[in-house]
Amino acid sequence: MNSTELTTMTQAQMIERVGMAKFPQDLTPADRRLLATAAITYGFDPLMGEISIYQGRPFVSIDGRYRKAQETNKLDGVESRPANKQERTDWQIPDGDFFFRAEVYVKGVTRPFVGWGRVRAAETRGGKGFKPVETNPQRMAEKRAEAQALRKAFHIPLPSVEDIGAEETALPF
């Protein structure tokens, strides 16, 4: 489904779509309404996991950000890589943390939009070993970098799912 179809849904239609997603059993009626409103407003599909609710706030997934960027026909590519030693030093990233840089290229723009993604070593421990940040912290740091760069390049003023659990006050971006 594209953004136009999603933004023209009624609240009731979107709440029904929210109910078909894999996570709705945990949502209160107020959360369902909020999720439906945010999905309609920004054209995200909760059924496909592009937007969800966590602790009463809507969060956009990396898949949602990529789809929205592609719909503009202005996305010209994304490149990501682990931060180099100098970048880690400049950002004061300790050993054990995962740190990535992503560049989003937009047609007609001379420089890429840069995003940084970090997973602290502490985020990878203490859980049950099934969260993405525990099982593949490198990819989670990369996704955080991509989400930040995509957010800069294609502004959608909602936080990213990939940042859930990160220490928000200490993030280097």
Render pLDDT for 17-32 as a digit per residue (tens, 0 to 9): 888 876 666 788 899 8
pLDDT band for 167, please (50, 70, 90 cuts).
Answer: low
Residue tagged 């990501």 (tokens): 80
pLDDT at 83: 98
96: which DSSP letter?
Answer: T
pLDDT in tens, 34-55: 999 999 999 999 989 899 888 8
pLDDT at 147: 93
pLDDT band for 166, please (50, 70, 90 cuts).
Answer: low
Residue tagged 């054990």 (tokens): 96
Kindly tell me the sign of the dihedral angle through the C-alpha atoms of 160, 166, 170, 173: negative
- Among candidates 65, 64, 67, 82, which has minimal Cα distance to 140? 82
pTM value is 0.83
